[in-house]
Structure 1
Amino acid sequence: MPIHEKTEATSLFCSHPKSMIRPLVPSLITCGLVTFLLSNRYMGFLLFFGALPLVPWLIHSSWSAIRKPAIRPLTLIRMGIWILGVMVVLGTHAYMNAAARKEGQRIVAKVEAYIAQHGSCPESLATVGIGRDEVKEVIGINGYICEAGKPMFSYGSTFMPFEMENYDFTQHRWTHVYD
């Protein structure tokens, strides 16, 4: 092939920027929407359902990129978009989980300090100076009760909608309660 001739792939990435982005628009929009939806609290479990078609597609796309050099750049960029989307979802849920646990530890520390000072558990989180709205903003669904002199605190897992993180005040550790 003479040097001055362009293949489809080189013309795609050497011509006008709009022609480079246009074939990526469906992947960008779809991946952006899926990433936005799955990055919300309690929605991460849907990533497992998204992986069912995504993994075979990634394998097929890898094979196509190897076998067809003309579509390699576009295919690799599409694969990168989806891999980045999955990483954003996982990173968002890891951050939310860490923030919720940190807030949970702060609440537990205040409740344990109250117990050490007064000999009984506080009737509500407001007793130890924790507002319900500030806790809900970071943790989401949560609950605190003092029943028969025993405190119980739990909050919803950030990844799964029906799982909880419970704090055991007698053993001083968190336990994950599955649905």
Structure 2
Amino acid sequence: MSAPPPERGARALWSRAERVIVGLLGLAALLAGSVQVLGRYLAPAHAISWAEEVIVYLLVWAVMIVASELARSDGHVRPDVVLRLLSPAGQRWLEIANSLVAVVFCAGLVYYGWQIVATAWLLDERSSTDLQFPMWLYYLALPVGGGLMALRYLARLGRYLFAFDARRMTIGRSDVTRTE
């Protein structure tokens, strides 16, 4: 499939914000790992013990946020082989079904993720390390990422329902002229 439609306005800002946040989370994880490694070899008595924990939290947040960008750019797993066998109309309806299933899945992530966050908040659950990190902040990545993905899939669903363009939104068809 060709690239997603060019983004303008709020959607472009949203995508850019996600990429910047993910980049900053990755940079913070890299810095935490570097400080830990350097501390371990240069000043073992002062080395930090919580870096692995923080790196995991940062990377989980980054993965959940970048999942939204993958939904926007068709980067998630999808049945391309099956899509190539279908007509443009068939591809459209399969993509609509895929988007509906994805929205339901994301709604489940949001709902059950929020249940986990609320329980961790209620119990004041904290990590078992010296950092004593509040776990609800870590678990919050699940409903936030699910919500961001749901919004992207809803936008995708709207494009396939109301703004379908066979030349730009189908794959593998030689009988359909594609413009890049």
TM bucket normalised to smaller: 0.3 to 0.5
**Structure with the greater relative contact order (CA < 8 A, sep ≥ 6): 1 or 2?**
2
- Per the normalisation by structure 2, the TM-score is 0.36
Greater fraction strand: 1
Between structure 1 and structure 2, the one with the greater Rg is 1
